[in-house]
Chains A and B, each alone.
Chain A
Amino acid sequence: MSGVQDVRQRNKGKGINRDASGPSSAVDYDDHNVAYLPSRSYIESFLNTEEASAAVVAILTIIAFFTRFYKINHPDQVVFDEVHFGKFASYYIRREYYFDVHPPLAKLLFGLAGWFVGYDGHFDFENIGDSYTENHVPYVGLRALPAILGSLTVPIVYAIMKECGYSTIIAAFSAIIILFDNAHVAQSRLILLDATLIFFLSLTMYSYVRFKKLRYQEFSPQWWGWLLATGTFMACTWASKVNGILTVVAVGVAVLIDLWDILDYKKGHSMQYFWKHFIARAAGLIALPLVIYLSVFWVHLAILSNTGPGDAFMSPSFQETLRGNELLMKSHEIRYYDTVTIKHKDTQVYLHSHPERYPLKYDDGRISSQGQQVTGYGHEDSNNQWQIIPTKALPETGRGRIVRHEDVIQLLHVNTGTVLMTHDVASPLMATNEEFTTWPKDDHSRYNDTLFHLRLSDAAPGEAWKSKSGHFRLIHVPTKVAMWSHPTQLPDWAFKQQEINGNKNANEKGAVWYVNEIVDSQDPDLKAKLEEVEMKEPKRLNFFKKFGELQLLMLQHNAGLTASHPYASGPINWPFLLSGISFWTQNEGQKQIYLIGNIIGWWASVGGICIYIGILGADLLARRRGLEPIPDDVRNRLWNSTGFFIIVWAVHYFPFYLMSRQLFIHHYLPSHVASALVAGSVLSFVLSETINTPVSAWGPSVKPRPTTYADHGVKAPVMVAVFAIAMFSLYLFISPLTYGTPGLTGEQVNARRLLSSWTLHFAAKESGNI
């Protein structure tokens, strides 16, 4: 772009000269340009004309679309996480409430794409391998969305490099790493969120680079435009997937460094000037993204207005805002002497008792009270019925008979005529918790032990206890333990039912229960109400309350995803491409989709990062000894431009070491994009010590400097071409694993297992049979 001077000057007149290297008074410096130009090789000058650049980017984009869309209809089955994200698209179309750990933007886009291609949301994406064609799902339309975004990422990567002042061939190098990367291709061809995430991430980087280049024209309309664009795309990244928050952090770090420089006394700025900058960035990069993020959620909640599978995650008050929700329909106030069934919130078992007694002595030698067993039972049964007995005088009729928050109650087991009790005897499985049992209702000798405090969750004093929605803890009055259960089975003597015991920490998670159903009531009104089913209007709840609750749950559940997965891998494996993910297999024809990157591109990227760290380390040490091996301009480029890429890479990579949740190699893809950029700039440095400078647009207050041009000579195009061919060959070689077609024989699979740690299917046995 910065290549040919006369092109530049023509542009300048039109006032669209946002271009980096455009000196505001180019004519003055023609001498310098002339002085530099002869040393440039012809090929370098040619490639850096705008026409050549446009041609390169066009070719790259076309290839990108081709690679991403090739056989996009194959397989016509549900693949890997399409189980989730396809399902969510259906829910948007059906407007049924669901819950997921990721923010909704990318899924909303899928819903939009589905709606656009006329999908009616009937399919449930239950299992990997379910057929789309048999179920008439327009899945190609859904898959086209990430494929388009994934393809567009390639020209954006090119543009980032170009804007940072690298020459065409270097920019093409970075773009090729993404273009022929099997992992990016595989991830973009399926209904997954990562392509959207990466697309917005690269847009964020692009906008930030553009913004940063205008730093001498601060507060100009363009400056504001790119600032707001950065904020917008950043918010979109964040709203696409939960790890998009790392993009926010990355931009935040870059901005802080930027502000720190502005603060520098030696720059001669006043504090007022600093605050102006600070406030502008706060507005563009904090306030605006927040608004966008919130509005995405607003749209999400506005669309999902019907009851759906996500109800159970939410609090009762939230659930009552959903049309057709069970809580909304069936929640009634509970009165004394009602017979109810009580369910454990986490494990969904009923509070149950039966005439069998605890064994006298347990296997570990502890002694029980031999009282009647109280257990958790998963099925409907008349032994689940409990009657609520008051401990105070009641009026004959009326609202005085309603059970309220903080009341002290007894629970009568209807079938055996005994009341629930707990006492200071160790429970069958946990010596630290109290045993729950029952006591004959007429025997008042242990009356105190049968009293329980009813403590409703988030309740105001005197709030009525309602079935379904009234989550409660049952606190034993004398010993202050809470009725608690956990998913552990009792031995055979209790028919392997679940243990219920008294936990001394009443705030423990498993101590929340709710009344599932009012089986019988003495109150005729309620009885009548129980019969009829009316359609109620959903209640309304403040958006911010809903948002806050949802956000909190997302964080909790995200942290809770710790179950092991056969294809989960640790962050240390990722940059070296040590393991992939098996997305889909089909025995017939031995087809499989295995998410794995192009090993040449990945190792080149890691190599780039290592070389970068090595160069900077050596430079620091040398400077300490008074040597300056790298010219200042080049050094600044390494620090500022490559440094930004490194920040993006590191911020999207290292936090995963702190996460204990399930991690997969596709979490590295955003970092991989950044590492491709690093690799490009390092290649530029290795090939030649010349750079395009300056790249930032001149401002009125800045003294212009002479323009210099990068010159990589002939070797750069040759090297990049060789690299591209190598990438392309390897890409083709692995492509059966990426596209799931054609099928491979065992030997072919073995040949494609480039690293022994890849766990491909259908591999031929290496040790021959006898």
Chain B
Amino acid sequence: MSANVRARRPPSPIPSQPPRSQRFPTLTHSRSDADERRTLASKGYIPGRKPHPSGGVYVTSAEWKLLILITLIAVGIRLFRLSQPNSVVFDEVHFGKFASKYIKSQYFVDVHPPLAKLLITLAGFVFGYDGNFDFKDIGKVYERVPYIAMRLVPAILGVATVPLSYLTLRALDCRATTSVLAALFITFENGLITQSRHILLDSPLIFFTALTVFFWVGFCNEDKQQPFSDHWWLWLTLTGLSLGAVVSCKWVGLFTIATVGFSTVYQLWLLLGDMRVSARLFFRHFMARALCLILVPALFYMFMFWIHFAILSGSGDGDGFMSSEFQHTLRGRGMADTYADVAIGSVVTIRHVNTQGGYLHSHPHNYPTGSQQQQVTLYPHRDSNNDWRILNATTDGSEPQDWATLPLTYVAPGMRIKLRHAATDKALHSHDFRPPVSDVDFQNEVSAYGVPGYSGDMNDDWIFEIYEGSKKDPQSKRRLRTLRTHFRLRHALTGCYLFSHKVKLPDWAYEQQEVTCNKNAVLANSLWYVETADNVLLPPDAAKVNYRRPGFLSKFLELQQVMWTTNAGLTDRHTFDSRPDAWPRLRRGINFWVKDHKQIYLLGNPMVWWLSTAAVFSYIVVRGLLILRAKRGCKDFENTKVVKYDTLCGFLFLGWSLHYFPFFLMSRQLFLHHYFPALYFAILLSCGVFDLVTSTLRPRIRLQIAAVLVIIAIWNFIYLSPLAYGLPWTKAKCQNARWLKTWDFSCNDFYDSVSYDQYKGIDYTPQPSQIVPTPHGRGAVVVEGPVPIVSVDPNTLGKAEPGHDVFAENPHPDVKSDPAVEPVQYDPVVSDVKEISSVIEPSSSPGVESSSSQSAVESASGDSEAGTTSESSSQVEETTIAATLGVPQEDEAEAEKVRQELFPDGRR
């Protein structure tokens, strides 16, 4: 201890607070920092309980001033040139778009809960955004969008994280110097800066994580003093609310809940072991925590979705993900009432129950495989090709159209029926061919077959079986009732069930969903219901039905399920994705934006980042050693210092590991920014370690060490700041800044020198070779000299995290099924092509084996030694190609232009 060397006021008791007892002479140490307390202790003033009731923090007025100063610095760092770039950056593509949709109340689905998006929308709304900008591509210049206001939301929350980190460490009983160090580390963390300057969700997430940690630490302090006081309840409730907010920003917030949860369980475990706590008191503790840490967050989370649904009342491009009942609640997607009864002769649309594939559908295109009869698919949109007429099949051989004259016969279980496609007049048919995709023994192909006037064969017959009806409509169990009856259709001859599953057909069926007849049908996937029914025989005043409107809770649960399945399904690769093991090493960043020879690249402050990782690992090593030593009988844990820092660092380490390790279990696409909540804990932990290491030093030296660390951090920050802010930079500086080979920002985008002439004047005019040169092709591949770099290709560079893309466009892209789209002008040509191709392709054996057809062509060209046959065949092919394309004049011209650009040296 260096206490005796120090020149400082004698630690005499403060006169205003006379000692209360002889054994514990003073309580004034609460005013002093850790050093003074230790000094006091060495003089016999034993640390007792803190006198101040607030468990949260005790901050002196001088510290408040310091804190304000740091916050101001953070404001400067976070808000500096917030308006630049004035174009869309990375995932602003999505979150900006979502704000537009909130403002226009168009329903959308996203993998993240709504809170952060709502905040951004609020900012946009207040500043008069009308929702008319499409946020289509990264780099698109903003027009009439208050994007600065929208960016301010994450930026301000990012600023607020800085004082929170200070207060949290103070509440954890660290020294002011340590806390300042943490606050400055967070202020100058390039990654956090970059992330908080754009319309992204992570900055709110980190803020609420930090807020939760602060409240929780405050609560724990309070809990040690005086449980069930007003303050205690306040801190606990605030923790609960803030937990709700975290998880309402992103589901990653569940990890914060886990952190607090673990901590709570540990507290309760200790309480349980404390025999002074009666069972009743323990139960009160338990219930209070359950109420505030489970119920409050859950209600908060649901409330956010309530707001979400309230705002998104109109139909939008997220409809397709929701059930029909859900869609019915959206403005513009409602369905008119339809007849409740279905009889022979009714025209019906039939929907699949278990998938969102849609309606049983057929269109005048044939299967290229199997029977080569007309396709039957599931199609998600309303369309006249979804209409089927129910006919009676029991009257074998008699006229099929006699339904109009016969009395009304309701469709009842066991009835043998045919389904006739209204538009093409072909019957739903199944036979012993394998389906095109699910090519297995127990699946039969389903097709539409028949010619007008022909009553069809036995393979058109289906037995109608009711699976379940609605409880509220007892009729629906006895006969087919629209919307209420779930039924199966059994093929009369083969006994298989009409079936569909989430398998898409190839391009030739426009990626619609496959329909088969399955002998081992999974029950859920073989259930169908009638959505609309029309029958001329029914009087206009016959009973009608419609979808029941789902309540909030069922809508909420349905949306959770959709979000979950989609989130788990995001397994595509992205050019800048990374795996969790790379994050603590800061192996690679994310390219956010490249334009006008400037670049925004998400990369952390290497010094802060690596220091925090080192702290985490040193904690693991030291803690492991301590455990081993304890096992061998060393009494380390009787030392108060060890206990204090073990508790402090242990809590932060728990937070870090719970925010980090679960990512290893996720097979979905992951990005560097998923590490930020864990990084926050790691930075606090590194400062905790600093506090421990410097605990025996004199305050001045400690301050000096902290200053050196901060200066290095600032130097790092400045060195890499052009990437964080998208500032002008030079190629040479950029090359120098590439400390790791794996940092793949593309230096070639920068000019050789920052002469402002070069950067001036060209602002936001399209660049010749940087941006995609042609509307359809790709830009030049930049090959960097010696560095074996991952491709830097503008097309993939400027790509947002594609997770959200799943919802971005219509989920079921469909070209055809609209009968009007049926290309009239192509018709003769198309049929020509078909003839030619049928000449080329021998009517191949069943199975997709393309090789059989191609070998026919190939052997022809091969055998004749590249002679006449191949040439003639190539000619045929050329004409076919031209014919198929049927390119209109302007297309041709455009293509010619493109070709000129691609091959300036000329070709042809």
Binds A, one of B22-30, B68-76, B401-409, B852-860: B852-860
Is the Cβ of A379 less than 8 Å from the Cβ of B776? no
User: A276 in the interface, Cβ–Cβ < 8 Å?
Assistant: no
User: B828 in the interface, Cβ–Cβ < 8 Å?
Assistant: no
- Overall SS of chain A's interface: loop
Contacting residues, chain B, for A492 (C-beta < 8 A): 837
Contact (A355, B871) CB under 8 Å given A360-B887, A367-B777, A493-B881: yes
User: B756 in the interface, Cβ–Cβ < 8 Å?
Assistant: no
User: Which B residue's beta carbon lies closest to that of A658?
Assistant: B665
User: A653 in the interface, Cβ–Cβ < 8 Å?
Assistant: no
Is the Cβ of B850 less than 8 Å from the Cβ of A496? yes
Binds A, one of B43-51, B151-159, B227-235, B896-904: B896-904
Please provide the chain B residues from 496 to 510 with a CB less than 8 Å away from any CB of chain A in the complex. Answer: 507
User: A377 in the interface, Cβ–Cβ < 8 Å?
Assistant: yes
Is the Cβ of A366 less than 8 Å from the Cβ of B632? no
User: B546 in the interface, Cβ–Cβ < 8 Å?
Assistant: no
Is the Cβ of A366 less than 8 Å from the Cβ of B871? no
Is the Cβ of A624 less than 8 Å from the Cβ of B862? no
**In whole angstroms, what is the CA distance A198 to B333 when docked?**
59
Interface code A243-272, partner B: CB below 8 Å = 1, 0 otherwise? 000000000000000001001111000010
Is the Cβ of B272 less than 8 Å from the Cβ of A356? no
Is the Cβ of A626 less than 8 Å from the Cβ of B783? no
User: B793 in the interface, Cβ–Cβ < 8 Å?
Assistant: yes
User: Which B residue's beta carbon lies closest to that of A431?
Assistant: B778
Is the Cβ of A446 less than 8 Å from the Cβ of B905? yes
**In whole angstroms, what is the CA distance A379 to B631 when docked?**
69
User: A14 in the interface, Cβ–Cβ < 8 Å?
Assistant: no
Most chain B beta-carbon neighbours within 10 Å: one of A367, A426, A432: A367
Is the Cβ of B895 less than 8 Å from the Cβ of A367? yes
User: A619 in the interface, Cβ–Cβ < 8 Å?
Assistant: no
Contacting residues, chain A, for B696 (C-beta < 8 A): none
Is the Cβ of A626 less than 8 Å from the Cβ of B275? yes
Is the Cβ of B851 less than 8 Å from the Cβ of A379? yes
Is the Cβ of A416 less than 8 Å from the Cβ of B866? yes
User: Which A residue's beta carbon lies closest to that of B792?
Assistant: A504
Is the Cβ of B781 less than 8 Å from the Cβ of A361? no
**In whole angstroms, what is the CA distance A478 to B440 when docked?**
47
Contacting residues, chain A, for B272 (C-beta < 8 A): 621, 624-625
User: Which B residue's beta carbon lies closest to that of A660?
Assistant: B667
Is the Cβ of A382 less than 8 Å from the Cβ of B895? no
Is the Cβ of B631 less than 8 Å from the Cβ of A367? no
User: Which A residue's beta carbon lies closest to that of B856?
Assistant: A495
Is the Cβ of A770 less than 8 Å from the Cβ of B862? no
Please provide the chain A residues from 130 to 175 with a CB less than 8 Å away from any CB of chain B in the complex. Answer: none
Interface size of A as a range: 35 or more
From A265, A424, A621, A765, give the contact of B633 (CB < 8 A). Answer: A265
Contacting residues, chain B, for A359 (C-beta < 8 A): 881, 884-885
User: Which B residue's beta carbon lies closest to that of A495?
Assistant: B854
From A266, A431, A481, A493, give the contact of B877 (CB < 8 A). Answer: A493
Is the Cβ of B275 less than 8 Å from the Cβ of A495? no
Contacting residues, chain B, for A367 (C-beta < 8 A): 774, 776-777, 895, 898-899, 902
Is the Cβ of A378 less than 8 Å from the Cβ of B495? no
**In whole angstroms, what is the CA distance A277 to B790 when docked?**
51
Is the Cβ of A366 less than 8 Å from the Cβ of B885? no
**In whole angstroms, what is the CA distance A365 to B790 when docked?**
27
Is the Cβ of B414 less than 8 Å from the Cβ of A361? no
Contact (A370, B780) CB under 8 Å given A263-B631, A382-B865, A625-B272: no
Is the Cβ of A496 less than 8 Å from the Cβ of B854? yes
Q: Could you tell me the distance in whole angstroms from the C-beta of A321 to the nearest C-beta in chain B? A: 34
Contact (A424, B780) CB under 8 Å given A431-B795, A495-B853: yes
Is the Cβ of B870 less than 8 Å from the Cβ of A355? yes
Please provide the chain B residues from 828 to 872 with a CB less than 8 Å away from any CB of chain A in the complex. Answer: 837, 840, 850-851, 853-855, 857-859, 861-862, 865-866, 870-871
User: Which A residue's beta carbon lies closest to that of B506?
Assistant: A489
Is the Cβ of B905 less than 8 Å from the Cβ of A445? yes
Q: Could you tell me the distance in whole angstroms from the C-beta of A697 to the nearest C-beta in chain B? A: 27
Contacting residues, chain B, for A480 (C-beta < 8 A): 781, 783
Please provide the chain A residues from 355 to 385 with a CB less than 8 Å away from any CB of chain B in the complex. Answer: 355-357, 359-361, 363, 365-367, 369-370, 377-379, 381-383
Tell me the number of A-to-B contacts counted with CB atoms below 8 Å. 146
**In whole angstroms, what is the CA distance A416 to B850 when docked?**
24
Contact (A383, B895) CB under 8 Å given A361-B885, A415-B866, A432-B796: no
User: B269 in the interface, Cβ–Cβ < 8 Å?
Assistant: yes
**In whole angstroms, what is the CA distance A475 to B739 when docked?**
27
Most chain B beta-carbon neighbours within 10 Å: one of A416, A434, A497: A497
**In whole angstroms, what is the CA distance A704 to B887 when docked?**
98
Please provide the chain A residues from 393 to 450 with a CB less than 8 Å away from any CB of chain B in the complex. Answer: 415-416, 424-426, 431-432, 434, 445-446
Contacting residues, chain A, for B667 (C-beta < 8 A): 660
Contact (A355, B874) CB under 8 Å given A265-B632, A367-B777, A424-B781: yes
Is the Cβ of B632 less than 8 Å from the Cβ of A378? no
Contact (A366, B881) CB under 8 Å given A265-B631, A378-B851: no
Is the Cβ of A360 less than 8 Å from the Cβ of B781? no
Contacting residues, chain B, for A361 (C-beta < 8 A): 885, 887, 891, 895
**In whole angstroms, what is the CA distance A208 to B724 when docked?**
59
**In whole angstroms, what is the CA distance A424 to B632 when docked?**
67
Contacting residues, chain B, for A354 (C-beta < 8 A): 858, 861, 870, 874
User: B465 in the interface, Cβ–Cβ < 8 Å?
Assistant: yes
User: Which B residue's beta carbon lies closest to that of A357?
Assistant: B878
**In whole angstroms, what is the CA distance A150 to B905 when docked?**
76
Interface code A736-770, partner B: CB below 8 Å = 1, 0 otherwise? 00000000000000000000000100000101011
Is the Cβ of A360 less than 8 Å from the Cβ of B881? yes
From A356, A382, A478, A505, give the contact of B862 (CB < 8 A). Answer: A382
Interface code B764-802, partner A: CB below 8 Å = 1, 0 otherwise? 000000000011111011010000001101011000000
Is the Cβ of A383 less than 8 Å from the Cβ of B881? no
From B414, B781, B865, B898, give the contact of A770 (CB < 8 A). Answer: B414
Contacting residues, chain A, for B902 (C-beta < 8 A): 367, 369, 425
Contacting residues, chain A, for B463 (C-beta < 8 A): 769-770
Contacting residues, chain A, for B633 (C-beta < 8 A): 265-266
User: Which B residue's beta carbon lies closest to that of A269?
Assistant: B632
Contact (A770, B416) CB under 8 Å given A360-B887, A431-B795, A495-B858: yes
From A356, A379, A431, give the contact of B855 (CB < 8 A). Answer: A379
Is the Cβ of B866 less than 8 Å from the Cβ of A355? yes
**In whole angstroms, what is the CA distance A417 to B671 when docked?**
48
User: A524 in the interface, Cβ–Cβ < 8 Å?
Assistant: no
Contacting residues, chain A, for B881 (C-beta < 8 A): 359-360, 493
User: B551 in the interface, Cβ–Cβ < 8 Å?
Assistant: no
Contacting residues, chain B, for A497 (C-beta < 8 A): 850, 854
**In whole angstroms, what is the CA distance A266 to B632 when docked?**
8
Is the Cβ of A426 less than 8 Å from the Cβ of B851? no
Contacting residues, chain B, for A360 (C-beta < 8 A): 881, 885, 887, 895
User: B520 in the interface, Cβ–Cβ < 8 Å?
Assistant: yes
Is the Cβ of A263 less than 8 Å from the Cβ of B777? no
Is the Cβ of A624 less than 8 Å from the Cβ of B273? yes
From B854, B885, B887, B899, give the contact of A377 (CB < 8 A). Answer: B854
Contacting residues, chain B, for A365 (C-beta < 8 A): 775-776
**In whole angstroms, what is the CA distance A446 to B520 when docked?**
59
**In whole angstroms, what is the CA distance A653 to B628 when docked?**
30
Q: Could you tell me the distance in whole angstroms from the C-beta of B507 to the nearest C-beta in chain A? A: 8
Binding site for B on A (CB under 8 A): 260, 263-266, 271, 354-357, 359-361, 363, 365-367, 369-370, 377-379, 381-383, 415-416, 424-426, 431-432, 434, 445-446, 478-481, 489, 492-493, 495-497, 504-505, 566, 621, 624-626, 658, 660, 759, 765, 767, 769-770
Listed by A's residue number, 9 A-B pairs whose Cβ atoms lie within 8 Å are A265-B631, A355-B871, A360-B885, A360-B887, A365-B775, A367-B776, A381-B859, A492-B837, A495-B857
Q: A266-B633, A496-B851, A769-B463 are in contact. List 20 more A-B contacts (CB 8 A).
A: A263-B631, A354-B870, A355-B874, A356-B873, A365-B776, A367-B776, A367-B777, A367-B895, A367-B902, A370-B908, A377-B854, A378-B855, A379-B858, A383-B858, A383-B862, A479-B783, A493-B880, A497-B850, A767-B465, A767-B490
